[in-house]
Structure 1
């Protein structure tokens, strides 16, 4: 069976299991939508009070917000297996069963638990993008659409890479979830705003260590046709999402090292 077909079967099986309890799935999805909706209210309140922040208007910031939340929603749905690796699969010994199957290990984890509830954050991100289109006067030309889709793919790769690293840490640590949350949920919070608003040392972290700026800030500038106040050339947003794929490749390199050092639960 091809990898894509296998992933589709695993994902559909996970979704079918959740669909047996439609009321629960609906409430979880609605909960995700409302919980992240509080963040939208906070952004709106900030710009309603001050009008603009260092030359950035609410429609322009909404573009960054919408892109980042769509990226994370998709990555979170795909990376659930890595997310619960340390808290569930390793402790119960179920990871050993995955190792015995003659199928790619990463693929099994990506299809392990595809959550319907992540549609709540994805829907909210799409709604904010619609708001940004109206408020910011964004013209979705073929070029702008291509940049947005490329940024979305790079962002999904980046956040998935963070979840892979979280799972990798589980081979050596008892509890690595809170460390990873600094880069997942904390990264979402930071990337929702233009990095030009942050201090220089923090901008370097978001650009070179965990390249969130490369998948959100610079592509947003390219879509808006807005010059970078930090002086980056205009073409940066056209190529910067590649950093997300590079980060994912590095994360899987670390993952393979972790798997080689795994010694089973002994149960």
Structure 2
């Protein structure tokens, strides 16, 4: 069985396992729908009170909100194994993964999925459709591809951060909560247009952790608000694919230097 088939086999098995408790599954999914809804309500009332935010209208910001929450929900669903990796190190379970004839990245990915994140994903899709219906966007094939690329790239960025967080566990054993600054904090920051922040914040989240390349820069292209050539804005999401490469390199470095937890 090849790696892709094995990944989807793990996906199917864990989905069946979670559906054994259907009431719990749907209640958790409902909770994942309502929690970000309260955050979106805060965004709505902010614009209801002030009208606009440094030149950005409500539905433009809503599109920004939808994209980043969609990428985060997909990441939490399919990359949860890295987010909870500390438990594998503490229990010694990662030692078993090392003796199996498969790559560690695939095995950690397939160790856990959180399908209840479908609630957050559904809310993001609803906001995305609502925003697009209320914006005068001249949709082209390139803009549609850019929007898809934004979502995929965002998943890669969050995945890269989860991988870096998991790699730290090789030396710290326990996960470090400070890394949530880049996951939860990055999500909260990126749900608003990057233009409203200080210059150093914009530079950090464009050239170091490229959240700005996921929703802000390509959104300027989709909304026809670019200055100069438009193609760099449309291709900005490719930064997410570049970002994950050093994250994987750091992971493999950590695996080579892993000495077991002693459990």
TM over 0.5, yes or no? yes
Give how far 1:209 is off.
Answer: 1.1
Tell me, yes or no, if structure 1 residue 26 matches structure 2 residue 23: no
Partner SS state of residue 202, structure 1: helix
Q: Is the 8 A contact 1:154 1:245 kept in 2?
A: yes
* TM score, norm. by length of structure 2: 0.96
What pairs up with 1:58-137 in 2 under 5 angstroms?
A: 58-86=58-86, 88-137=87-136
User: Which residue of structure 2 lines up, in the alignment, with residue 142 of structure 1?
Assistant: 141
What is the aligned partner in structure 2 of residue 262 from structure 1?
258
Deviation at 1:175, TM superposition (A): 3.4
CA contact (8 A) 1:72 1:156 kept: yes
The number of residue pairs the alignment matches comes to 263
- CA shift, 1:266, in A, is 2.2
Contact 1:10 1:108 in 2 (8 A): no
Corresponding position of 1:8:
8
Q: Report the alpha carbon displacement of residue 3 of structure 1 after superposing the two structures with TM.
A: 1.2
Displacement after TM superposition at 1:139 (Å):
4.2
CA shift for structure 1 position 114: 1.2
Partner SS, residue 186 of structure 2: helix
Q: Give the drift of 1:157.
A: 0.6
Give the deviation of 1:137 after TM superposition. 2.8
Q: CA deviation at 1:154?
A: 0.9
Match of 1:248 in 2: 244
CA shift, 1:135, in A, is: 2.3
Contact 1:82 1:163 in 2 (8 A): yes
- Aligned runs of 1:141-220 on 2, under 5 Å? 141-220=140-219
TM-score (norm 1): 0.95
1:79-108 C-alpha deviation (Å, 9 max, x unpaired):
11111111x111111111111111111111
Once the two structures are TM-superposed, the CA of residue 123 in structure 1 deviates from its matched residue by 0.7
Distance in 2 of aligned mates of 1:174 and 1:107: 21
Q: Hey, what's the Cα distance between the residues in 1 that align with 2:51 and 2:166?
A: 42
1:43 and 1:110 mapped to 2: Cα distance?
Answer: 33
CA distance in 2, matches of 1:236, 1:67: 19
Counterpart-to-counterpart distance in 1, 2:47 and 2:7:
42
- Report the alpha carbon displacement of residue 174 of structure 1 after superposing the two structures with TM: 4.0
Taking a change above 3 Å as real, the CA distance of residues 145 and 85 of structure 1, as seen in their structure-2 partners, is same
Q: In the TM superposition, what is the alpha-carbon distance from 1:150 to its structure 2 partner?
A: 1.1
Does the CA-based 8 Å contact 1:132-1:138 persist in structure 2?
Answer: no
1:13-62 deviations in Å (ceiling 9; x for gaps): 11111010011111111111111111100100110001111110011111
In structure 2, how many angstroms separate the alpha carbons of the residues matched to 1:21 and 1:206?
40
Determine the structure 2 residue equivalent to 1:36: 36
> Structure 1 stretches of 5 or more lacking a match?
none
Distance 1:177 1:137 in 2: 44
Once residues 201 and 235 of structure 2 are traced to their aligned partners in structure 1, the CA distance between those partners, rounded to angstroms, is 22
Which digits, 9 at most, give the CA deviation of each residue in 1:220-249, with x for residues without a partner? 111111235xxx742222211111111111
